[in-house]
Chains A and B, each alone.
Chain A
Amino acid sequence: MSLKNVLGVALGILSAIGGFVDIGDLVFNTQAGAVFGYQLLWVVVIGVVGIIVYSEMCGRVSAVSKRPVFDLVRERTGFGAGLATLIASSVVNLMTCAAEVGGVAICLQLLSGLPYRALIALAVVGLVVASWVLPFTWIERVFGYLGLCLLVFGVAAIKSHPGWGHVAHGFVPGSHAGGSLMVYGYFVVGLLGAAMTPYEVYFYSSGAVEDRWGLEQLKLNKVTAIIGYSLGGILSFALMIVAGALFLPAGIDPQFLGTPALAAEHVLGQVGLLLALVGILFAVGGAAIETSFSGAYNVSQFFGWRWGKKERPAAASRFTLSWLIIFALALLVVMSGYDPVKLTEYSVIFSVVTLPLTYLPILLIANDRTYMGSKVNGKLANVLGVVYFAIIIAIAVAAIPLMVLTHGGKG
């Protein structure tokens, strides 16, 4: 690889790290840490490997077959089941987008002290203008790099002096202490859901098709997925460790999105607080853009419309309207007073239910030689793919019962 390529890959990885954490990871990792300390770290590992397995598969399928995910959903599951998946995923996308928009507004409020409602409107206008004006490479850079401020949580995790023996113990699945088994199960589902959010896969595959990925991008695809997501996963560990070290002993229940930022302040002072808020702001803002575009990609691909950020907005008119409408609806949802943290919990749990129908077509096509030629899944990809598919089905079945029975993790 030439220096320029290495640099390109490094930059891609950096923005993947900054873009890994969204509001779902923030909420679930901090809450899990506040309730169970470090005991659920092993779940994050499983979740991160899961998103690596499926996004690598999905990027490879897009590069070889030139088909994005929702084309495949429609082709493999047909109109009826495909439409059901579309509706379910659109609801989840909208809820997630609303939660992320709310998160942006909360960060802006903590940074500026201005009224929340005005900042919701400002957040949406800002995100729409950024999406309209900037090409994706720039959106990825601006939001991805500034999202790297979240690395402050890594420093905070170390400086909060967790018992490293206990932390290491958390990477081994096993019996738990404190909280009921049901609540433990709820957080297992939530953490996996937060790590394997379906919109990331929709967005990633559509982006790959738009950028006209071919066989020569397969290596880049693999490297970005493995390194980018693994390093991103470290941020998830950090959030859980900070919460376990500071919130659990103090009995703090992080029901407010700003709570993790206070942990950074506690350890690192004003600078820590500022970095944490800026990091959350851009991580969550970037995710808001990804969710609105994912919704537009899905509906356009299902009905066969023209789509793409690179198309003239008026030429791909229905695609353009779709993402604008999703932002408008997200604005309405947050304006009507739904709490972003609550919205996040619901959106992650519901997204788990839609996971099987998203990932099954990918797994099938990745094994189909008429699409993939010699680039079909190897043994490792298939073993992992099938194991994860079984995990996904199990958590999809358990998700809603656990949420209801534990009252959203409250026991």
Chain B
Amino acid sequence: MSKVVELDIALGVLDHQLVDSEGKNCGKVDDLEIAGLNGGSPEVVEILVGGNAWRYRGRLGRLAARLGGNAVHVPWSEVAAVTEVVTLKRTAAELRLNRGDERWARLVGKLPGA
């Protein structure tokens, strides 16, 4: 059995770095979807990454959300470990978290030696 660790999700998960199964950065925990707040046992079900995930993050967040696209939803079951970073079980590409870098990679890739 694994050790029980107390985790403050506001301080220890929210706004932390997401790292995929290959150790690559793939966004931040921009928001968390929590189910069962009305009765039942509350549970984190999804991590929201990018775009309109910022809309509840203050006034600047609302503005940024409007400029960003749709958030990517990552089920909590994809989380492998929570340390200083949140490590995921699969690759960024499999979880559709690689769109940003992919989009600009084509442009940057044209430069010599890139």
Contact = CB atoms under 8 A, between A and B. Distances in A.
Nearest to B111: A313
Contact of A317 (B60, B84, B105, B113): B105
B35 interface: no
A71 interface: yes
Nearest to A82: B15
B58 interface: yes
A82 B16 CA distance: 12
B2 to A, nearest CB: 18
B79 interface: no
Interface in B14-51: 14-18, 24-28, 30, 49-50
A80 B108 contact: no
B100 interface: yes
Given A79-B61, A83-B60, A318-B100, A306 B109 contact: no
Contacts, number: 87
Interface residues of B, number: 35
Nearest to A79: B57
A197 to B, nearest CB: 25
A79 B15 contact: yes
B70 to A, nearest CB: 16
Contact of A306 (B49, B101, B107): B101
Given A79-B58, A83-B61, A314-B109, A304 B18 contact: yes
B80 to A, nearest CB: 17
Given A304-B18, A312-B114, A80 B58 contact: yes
A321 B105 CA distance: 9
A303 interface: yes
A320 interface: yes
Interface residues on A, range: 20 to 34
B47 to A, nearest CB: 11
B59 interface: yes
B101 A317 contact: yes
A318 B98 CA distance: 11
B108 A317 contact: yes
B95 to A, nearest CB: 13
A78 B101 contact: no
A391 to B, nearest CB: 28
A321 B26 contact: no
Interface string B89-112: 000000000001111110111010
B18 to A, nearest CB: 6
Q: Is the interface of A mostly helix, strand, loop or mixed?
A: helix
Contacts of B27: 303-305
A303 B28 contact: yes
A304 B105 contact: no
A300 B100 CA distance: 11
Nearest to B19: A304
Contact of A80 (B12, B26, B59): B59
Nearest to A318: B104
Nearest to B105: A317
A183 to B, nearest CB: 36
A67 B103 CA distance: 26
A132 interface: yes
Nearest to B59: A80
Contact of B25 (A75, A82, A83, A306): A306
A381 interface: no
B84 A305 contact: no
B68 to A, nearest CB: 10
Contacts of B71: none
A313 B25 contact: no
A79 B30 contact: yes
A317 B24 CA distance: 13
Given A75-B15, A304-B26, A317-B101, 16 more contacts: A67-B17, A71-B17, A75-B11, A78-B15, A79-B15, A79-B30, A80-B58, A83-B58, A304-B28, A306-B24, A313-B108, A316-B101, A317-B104, A318-B100, A318-B104, A321-B104
Interface of B: 11-12, 14-18, 24-28, 30, 49-50, 54, 57-61, 64, 84, 100-105, 107-109, 111, 113-114
